[in-house]
Amino acid sequence: MDNSGFRTQEHLFTVLRLVFFSAFLAIIHSECLTVNVAADGMETRPLYTIRTGDQLLITVVGYEKELTALVVVRPDEMVTYPVVGDVKAAGLTIAQLSSAIGEKLSDLGYYESPQVTVQLRQPRREIIYVSGDVKDPGQKTFPRSANVIEALAAAGWFEETADLANARIIKKRKEAAPEIVPIDLEKLLKKEFMEQGVVSGELFSDRFMLSDGDVLVVPSGIREERVNIIGRVYASGQYQVKSEISLVEALALAGGAVEGTADLKHIRIIRADDSVVIADATRAWAEKNSSVSPSHPDKDTPSPVYRVMVQPGDSVLVPEKGKVNILGSVQNQGKFDVDGEISIIEALTLAGIDRDSNLKKLRIVRSTGEQVTVDASKIWSQQVQGYDERLAPGDTLIVPRSMRINWGAVSTVVLTFSTLYAIFR
């Protein structure tokens, strides 16, 4: 096939097949849904299955003031709910979680036939990036992992000049170098390939799937001097350049980084040879947008960030800031935007501790499911320094409540027993 483009008729049929197949995938790829069958054999509406990262609003009818909580399903698949503590949520339906919490409340003996309601306030979202010769490049949001066809469909399909045979996926790895996976989209979309039944068998394998932070790159068949800039910028797209440019100049071409949500510390530059460079443009971008003189007075002594150059054929990905979850006995529970890792002190400062916070038994639930218990009481009071435990995007910090003695109640009990003792002595 001529790399300069498809013939008009062949391109039209390819797009039509793509539209049809994407609709088909949307129906069959419903890993988060289950179908109930009633006693009469009729199917009822699909039920949502709770996943890690989902935000839920839980309350009990008649006890809204004390038993209403907005919770996030942690990586360990649990939620923390007032009175009952930790409850497994991931993998359950809304009704099943309501029932589980209701049973725990009933076991306490204080609540008679509690009516628990659970609402899905915000499902977990997967952010995937599509770069290159597509109609709408940039950041795409999915309710789950997506395959290459779904990602391509979200980007408005490909341009006629796209080099589909040399597409690739850049798979993000938490503690390792990104994995480069070559994808022959031209072969994948051919009618004979789909008719052989290979698509349905392989398309949902790990090779063809994109998860949070992954990038689908569709190069152009026209070898012009261009750079692709996507992610948290104001104008994702392809830009012609005559020679290499600085990272800051590349950001400026795309209208700049989106203020407040762009993670400038972890910009990914995907070279034409598939190597990946991680760059921090925080200082450089701040200097460009301020009246402060740059810290590189001449070309002979540039600061390290200014040595990062973008070359023709590169793709620049500006990711969205990561989030950490801070729950429990703090003033402000919820998700907080972070630029990379933060310290325990920074996390506690973001959420604000209250007088009941038990800093001796903080619990960190990593995005991998690993759990760590830390004592931050001496760190917070500045008695020790140099603590190494940090929170990374996707982690959850749980601050338990201290057990406080109600001395007023104790005094009342002591006085009552003293009086009774004096009477019946």
- The answer to whether residues 278 and 332 belong to one domain is no
For residue range 104-157, list pLDDT tens digits in order. 999 888 888 899 999 998 888 888 999 989 999 988 988 888 889 899 999 998
Highest mean pLDDT among 11-15, 186-190, 282-286: 282-286
When pLDDT is cut at 50, 70 and 90, the band that residue 6 belongs to is: very low
Q: Is residue 184 part of a domain?
A: no
Q: Answer with the residue of higher pLDDT: 135 or 417.
A: 135
Supply φ then ψ for residue 353, to 5 degrees. -85, 155
Residue that terminates a domain, selected from 320, 340, 358: 320
C-beta separation of 367 from 75 below 8 A: yes
Residue that terminates a domain, selected from 299, 320, 341: 320
For residue range 72-96, list pLDDT tens digits in order. 888 788 888 888 888 999 999 999 9
- The answer to whether residues 316 and 330 belong to one domain is no
For residue range 230-271, list pLDDT tens digits in order. 988 999 888 988 888 999 999 999 999 988 888 888 898 988
Q: How far apart are the first and last CA of the chain?
A: 106
User: Could you tell me the pTM of the whole model?
Assistant: 0.60
CATH code of 76's domain: 3.30.1950.10
Range of the domain at 67: 52-122
pLDDT of residue 93: 92
Q: Is residue 312 part of a domain?
A: yes
pLDDT of residue 369: 67
pLDDT of residue 351: 86
Please provide the DSSP assignment of 382-400 as one string: TSS-----EE-TT-EEEEP
Q: Is residue 185 part of a domain?
A: no
Counting residues of the chain whose pLDDT is more than 90, the rounded percentage is 17
pLDDT of residue 206: 80
Residue that terminates a domain, selected from 122, 143, 173: 122
**Once rounded to an integer, what is the mean pLDDT over residues 194-211?**
68
Residue type, 323: K
